[in-house]
């Protein structure tokens, strides 16, 4: 067997959070930060998988052994059980996967901190699917669930429009580099958010989702084609209002940044992870302001968004 090196991009969901599950058109972007998965086949016949995972700072945070026949681990940790579930699902989708007798050594290396919410799970799903030669969306549905936009980002090197049509993903590669991109920033709130909590609130909502989806589709298209920071800020405000009023969630700007001079938008699960901010002042003024909120992880558009040119 030939050794493999697989790379998956992280992700940010710019528009249509939650509603993307029911077919809303979403703007999503792959990030500079991703995850590497290295597969080494060893000339040993002990039918073992040795799995090591490393954080972005090089620290080893997982060291597990799996039996290749049962795919059960020597650990009962949550992470070990999750990996077993994914590997078993991959094996079900491709019975030839892991059928050899040689030992396998796996190394995963994140380029972002686990708690940032940039896709430690989705990048892993994509990488394992690539290794197993199976469909990543199918593997996602058999394991983690979700809309799949994050898996789409893992596989691509451009911003995308993502939409579920009759339950099947449609991915359109687009150009999204606004003329005002130097006035867009991303900041980590330091409050890792479980997306399942927000999804449960969404699913329990009795609001007119079809009407909301129509508006979100219009806003998403307008964001992609926007040519001025003022209009972009208006679109952010309208988008936040729709989500807030429909799901009865407080907007992040009114909750955490009521005195901020630009606009702030939640990305993905509301209440944690990254937010997007517009900033018409200097980066130093923005940094100083966010530091007063104990927010220290701040990226410009160019620093965050993966670009080939």
Q: Is residue 309 part of a domain?
A: no
Confidence of residue 196 (pLDDT cuts 50, 70, 90): low
Which residues does residue 265 pair with via DSSP β-bridges, in sequence order? 276
Shared-domain flag, residues 237 and 268? yes
Q: Does residue 89 surpass a pLDDT of 90?
A: yes
Shared-domain flag, residues 208 and 136? no
CA–CA separation, 106 and 93 (whole Å): 20
Q: Are 54 and 106 in contact (CB under 8 A)?
A: no
Read off the CATH number of the domain in which 290 is found. Answer: 3.30.70.890
Q: Does residue 194 surpass a pLDDT of 70?
A: no
Q: Answer with the one of 148, 173, 198 that is the final residue of a domain.
A: 173
Q: Is residue 77 part of a domain?
A: yes
Q: Answer with the one of 107, 138, 173 that is the final residue of a domain.
A: 173
Q: Is residue 156 part of a domain?
A: yes
Structure tokens at 301: 């558009």
The pLDDT of 218-240, averaged and rounded, is 98
Q: Are 250 and 257 in contact (CB under 8 A)?
A: no
Number of domains in the chain: 2
Map residue 75 onto helix, strand or coil: coil
Domain that holds residue 103: 4-173
Q: What is the pLDDT of residue 230?
A: 98
Q: Is residue 160 part of a domain?
A: yes
Q: Answer with the one of 173, 202, 222 that is the final residue of a domain.
A: 173
Shared-domain flag, residues 160 and 255? no
Q: What is the pLDDT of residue 149?
A: 97
pLDDT digits (tens, 9 = 90+) for 10-43: 999 999 999 999 999 999 999 999 999 999 998 7
Q: Is residue 67 part of a domain?
A: yes
Q: Are 149 and 3 in contact (CB under 8 A)?
A: no
pLDDT digits (tens, 9 = 90+) for 135-193: 999 999 999 999 999 999 999 999 999 999 999 999 999 999 999 999 999 999 987 55
Q: What is the pLDDT of residue 273?
A: 86
Shared-domain flag, residues 97 and 190? no
Read off the CATH number of the domain in which 129 is found. Answer: 3.30.230.10
Nearest Cα residue to 251 out of 261, 264, 269: 264
Report the alpha-carbon angle 21-149-54, nearest 5. Answer: 125
């Amino acid at each position: 067997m030939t050794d493999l090196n697989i790379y998956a991009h992280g992700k940010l969901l710019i528009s249509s959070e939650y509603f993307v599950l029911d077919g809303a058109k979403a703007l999503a972007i792959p990030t500079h930060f991703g995850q590497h998965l290295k597969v080494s086949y060893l000339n040993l016949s002990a039918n073992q998988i040795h799995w090591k995972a490393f954080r972005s700072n090089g620290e080893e945070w997982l060291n597990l052994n799996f039996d290749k026949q049962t795919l059960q681990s020597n650990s009962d940790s949550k992470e070990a059980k999750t990996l077993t579930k994914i590997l078993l699902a991959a094996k079900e989708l491709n019975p030839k996967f892991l059928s050899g007798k040689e030992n396998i050594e796996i190394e995963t290396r994140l380029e972002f901190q686990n708690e940032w919410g940039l896709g430690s799970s989705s990048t892993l799903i994509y990488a394992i699917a690539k290794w197993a030669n199976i469909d990543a969306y199918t593997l996602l549905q058999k394991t983690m669930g979700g809309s799949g936009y994050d898996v789409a980002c893992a596989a691509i090197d451009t911003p995308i429009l993502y939409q579920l049509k009759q339950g099947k993903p449609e991915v359109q590669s687009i150009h999204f580099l606004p003329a005002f991109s130097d006035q867009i920033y991303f900041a980590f709130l330091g409050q890792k958010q479980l997306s399942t909590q927000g999804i449960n609130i969404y699913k329990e909502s009795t609001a007119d989702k079809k009407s909301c989806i129509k508006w979100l589709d219009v806003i998403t298209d307008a964001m992609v084609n926007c040519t001025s920071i003022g209009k972009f800020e208006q679109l952010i405000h309208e988008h936040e209002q729709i989500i807030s009023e429909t799901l009865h969630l407080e907007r992040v700007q009114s909750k955490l940044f009521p005195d901020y001079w630009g606009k702030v938008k939640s990305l993905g699960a509301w209440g944690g992870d990254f937010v997007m901010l517009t900033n018409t002042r200097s980066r130093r003024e923005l940094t100083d302001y966010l530091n007063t909120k104990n927010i220290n992880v701040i990226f410009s558009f160019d620093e965050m968004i993966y670009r080939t040119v």
